[in-house]
A and B are shown apart, each in its own frame.
Chain A
Amino acid sequence: MALGDKIASWPVLRQLREGDPLGLGPSVQSPRSRTLKPRIDDAEHVVQSICPYCAVGCGQLVYVKDGDVTHIEGDPASPISRGRLCPKGQASKSYVQSPLREYKVKYRRPYGTTWEELDLDTAMDMIADRIVETRAATWQDETDGGCPANRTLAIGNLGGATLDNEENYLIKKLMTGLGIVQVENQARI
């Protein structure tokens, strides 16, 4: 900064020049304050979403920059929520970016005492193997009473109320195809 500019930016000179003799307003506005703008204005795109917590179904606007969520707030267009959110909905970004969020598969072997790393593909193959094996070993063609059963009672699937309809659809479809009947979710709690 040239010396002249430096002096011109001296608070007292600014106070006098800007009609702010007490130095309470524009004359003390910092460079940051002068150029400040809301970070949502920098978003590359804004996505209309729905809150993941309760079933009120509030609309959310998700602001994204550089592949990351920069902010989440209420979607004013929603006839249900009219742009408002409760503390949980308002904390959605902190949930999505929780310091405790897990990004890697973790594996605990039988009788193991620690988590181990496991490649996602390997884990998927192992889970598929477990299902195929358990199902084959425990299959029931018929009940003890001779009624058709077509099932295994040795595998269960729990959860669904926090998931999308499309996900629930695939779960029920796959489990029914596999003869797994113990498919349950939070509706029981």
Chain B
Amino acid sequence: MSSLLQLNTDPDGWGAYGEKQRERVGFFTDTSICIGCKACEVACKEWNLVPEDGLEFTGESYDNTSELSANTWRHVAFVEQQHDGGMRWLMESDVCKHCTHAACLDVCPTGALFRTEYGTVVVQEDVCNGCGYCVPACPFGVLDKRHLPATTDPPPAFLGKKEDGRVWKCTLCYDRLKGGHEPACAKACPTKSIQFGPLDELRERADERLAKLQAGGVRDAQLYGRDPGDGVGGFGAFFLLLDDPEVYGLPPDPVVSTKRLPSMWANMAIAAGAVVAGIAATVLRP
């Protein structure tokens, strides 16, 4: 079954929605027009009620957020460079990639992580028990447990009251999508560096944008995560970068860490199914 990964450009689990399936949507983050204002960070927090997580001066250029985490679902990276004999200040709003083949999804034992009808990957706060399997599975370090007192619905009792303990990340504003609204970050973005839309359309737009920039002499411009043939089957949220991914702190060649997992889970599911069928046969006997 692992060979499926090479063939299938559809997100795992998405096909199961049948009539309820919606067009796959995502983000195209064009860093060539990002002004580093962080409206996306704030819009995300305002909408999703993500907690403030510390008043720490980092000294990392204008970035005092440092990384994506349970409490930061959009993060603007600032990179100061000497470039062509002058100064260059790169800014990039990072976010969960909503991978076509998402390791986090594969390893989640509780079904808290799931593929939505929009092809996005969401952690369900009413299911997640904070086991943390997904945390090391993500090649981008996006998944993270919240070590803060719970702010929204109380967490499951067994987690204790001291901290939330669950995993939180970008939902691509799942609730807003269901209401027909675009995600909060994309809506706020003053220059439309963050664009939201059907993924196919975004990919086309990105190709045109890249061609325009390259024709204009922006040599190192490149798309990151646009290619469905890459190690995670392409991102649902991909980027136009002005330099190599590692310059922004992004892995240059991310690979889904669970390439072989689907077959393992499938086998387990079949085994479990047999057990359930047996139980059902017993219990439901008239």
- CB within 8 Å of B: which residues of A? 3-4, 7, 10-13, 15-16, 18-33, 36-41, 71-74, 83-87, 89-91, 93-94
**A21 in contact with B17 given A38-B181, A93-B46 (CB within 8 Å):** no
Which of these binds chain A: B142-150, B157-165, B184-192, B202-210? B184-192
Judge whether B39 and A86 touch: CB under 8 Å: yes
Contacts of B12 in A (CB 8 A): 22, 24-25
Q: Is the interface of B mostly helix, strand, loop or mixed?
A: helix
Contacts of A71 in B (CB 8 A): 46-47
Judge whether A22 and B39 touch: CB under 8 Å: no
Q: How does the 8 Å CB contact mask read for B10-34 relative to A, with 1 for contact and 0 for none?
A: 0011111110100000000000000
Contacts of B272 in A (CB 8 A): 12
Judge whether A38 and B176 touch: CB under 8 Å: yes
Contacts of B37 in A (CB 8 A): 86-87
- CB within 8 Å of A: which residues of B? 12-18, 20, 37-39, 41-43, 46-47, 105-106, 111-112, 114-117, 122, 124-127, 173-176, 178-179, 181, 184, 187-190, 192, 262, 265-266, 269, 272-273, 276, 280, 283-284
For the complex formed, measure the closest distance between the CB of B279 and the CB atoms of chain A, giving whole angstroms: 8
Judge whether A21 and B269 touch: CB under 8 Å: yes
Contacts of B13 in A (CB 8 A): 20, 22-26
Contacts of A83 in B (CB 8 A): 187
**A37 in contact with B175 given A28-B111, A73-B187, A87-B37 (CB within 8 Å):** yes
Judge whether B188 and A26 touch: CB under 8 Å: no
B109 (CB) vs chain A CBs: closest residue: A23
**A26 in contact with B276 given A38-B175, A73-B43 (CB within 8 Å):** no
A85 (CB) vs chain B CBs: closest residue: B188
Contacts of B117 in A (CB 8 A): 25-26
Judge whether B190 and A85 touch: CB under 8 Å: yes
Judge whether A19 and B18 touch: CB under 8 Å: yes
Query: 22 A–B contact pairs at CB < 8 A?
Result: A4-B284, A7-B280, A13-B280, A15-B269, A22-B266, A24-B12, A25-B114, A27-B111, A29-B114, A29-B116, A30-B112, A30-B124, A32-B124, A32-B126, A33-B174, A36-B175, A36-B178, A38-B179, A71-B46, A73-B187, A84-B192, A87-B42
Judge whether B46 and A7 touch: CB under 8 Å: no
Contacts of B16 in A (CB 8 A): 18-20, 24-27
**A39 in contact with B262 given A20-B13, A20-B16 (CB within 8 Å):** no
Contacts of B47 in A (CB 8 A): 71, 73
For the complex formed, measure the closest distance between the CB of B217 and the CB atoms of chain A, giving whole angstroms: 29
**A90 in contact with B188 given A3-B283, A7-B283, A22-B12 (CB within 8 Å):** yes
Contacts of A33 in B (CB 8 A): 114, 116, 122, 124, 126, 174
A137–B186 alpha-carbon span in the complex (Å): 59
Contacts of A72 in B (CB 8 A): 46
Residue in contact with A24 in the complex, picked from B41, B105, B173, CB distance below 8 Å: B105
